[in-house]
Amino acid sequence: MPIFLDRHNLKGATAADIAEAHRKDLEVQEAYGVRFLTYWFDEARGTGFCLIDAPDIETAMRVHDEAHGNVAKDVIEVDLSAVEAFLGRVSDPAQTAAPLQVRIDPAFRAIMFTDIVDSTAMTARLGDLRAVEMVRAHDALVRRALKDKGGREVKHTGDGIMASFDEVPAAVDCTRAIQQAFDAFNLASKEKLRVRIGLDAGEPVADSNDLFGATVQTAARLCQSAEPETIIVSEMVRGLVPDRIKLVELGVRSLKGISDPVRAFEVTWRT
């Protein structure tokens, strides 16, 4: 059956309220041939998301309606492996606290793109075999930073990596660690590898039929607009960056495929 992710507006609700609503969904689901796999709740932003295995959207929403009456307005079809890559799980976490006291993580994520600068020219200059070796070096450096900072690789883009982070500060720390790693690599290597990085943050269902569609697109376009060896982030990220990290405002940018101009900021990374 298809897998769906829905979005609820839950201003004023508590984690206990949402845990109880999820329990009620589980009580009703079997009668409709539906499985509520898990959920996420963001108390600060007043939003919640349910991951549902159902014959169709209408049947999934009937379960919500019968169970507690809170029917989602926004629902998208998703790929289960993509949900796991972005959000880190596709089932309820193990319960380690008393019922209704388990803290469920929000679905808000930071999305990062890296891009090897002039990768096509690099392939033409070095040849396929050597160019592949350089891409592998990029992958190793980025993946090491992801492991250290708690990021999850979502996919390889050919000349870069897309990754997801639960927390914006960890994502920003990771981007800085990546640029520092490439700086060290280039000091020791005859052939230089320069990367650009873009970072945005947002919710999985928002103004798009794709999982993290708007956030992914903005992060990718920010990356494409970045100068070599720089990190460009959105205003959303900027508002969640700790004071210890210096940002430089770059002004408003018009990004391809994005209707509204985006305020961009550069993250300093050199020590």
Look at the chain and count its residues.
Answer: 271
The pLDDT of residue 104: 75
How far, in Å, CA of 100 to CA of 175, rounded? 36
| Segment 136-155, tens digit of pLDDT | 999 999 999 999 999 999 99
Contact 194, 133 (CB under 8 A): no
- What's the rounded mean pLDDT across residues 203-220? 90
Position 39 confidence tier, pLDDT thresholds 50, 70, 90: very high
User: Does position 99 have pLDDT exceeding 80, yes or no?
Assistant: no
User: Does position 59 have pLDDT exceeding 50, yes or no?
Assistant: yes
- What's the rounded mean pLDDT across residues 182-191? 95
The pLDDT of residue 98: 52
How far, in Å, CA of 251 to CA of 255, rounded? 12
| Segment 115-136, tens digit of pLDDT | 999 999 989 998 999 999 999 9
| Chain CA centroid to CA 173, Å | 15
Position 100 confidence tier, pLDDT thresholds 50, 70, 90: very low
How far, in Å, CA of 149 to CA of 145, rounded? 6
Domains delineated in the chain: 3-87 (3.30.70.3090), 109-267 (3.30.70.1230)
What's the Cα-to-Cα distance from 42 to each of 35, 106, 147, 219, rounded to whole Å? Answer: 22, 4, 25, 22
Contact 250, 231 (CB under 8 A): no
How far, in Å, CA of 75 to CA of 210, rounded? 10
| Mean pLDDT, all residues of the chain | 93
Contact 169, 242 (CB under 8 A): yes
The pLDDT of residue 95: 62
| Segment 167-183, tens digit of pLDDT | 999 999 999 999 999 99
Position 1 confidence tier, pLDDT thresholds 50, 70, 90: confident
| Segment 227-265, tens digit of pLDDT | 999 999 999 999 999 999 999 999 998 888 888 899 999
Q: Cα angle at 30 between 29 and 32, to 5 degrees? A: 70
How far, in Å, CA of 126 to CA of 129, rounded? 8
Contact 184, 77 (CB under 8 A): no
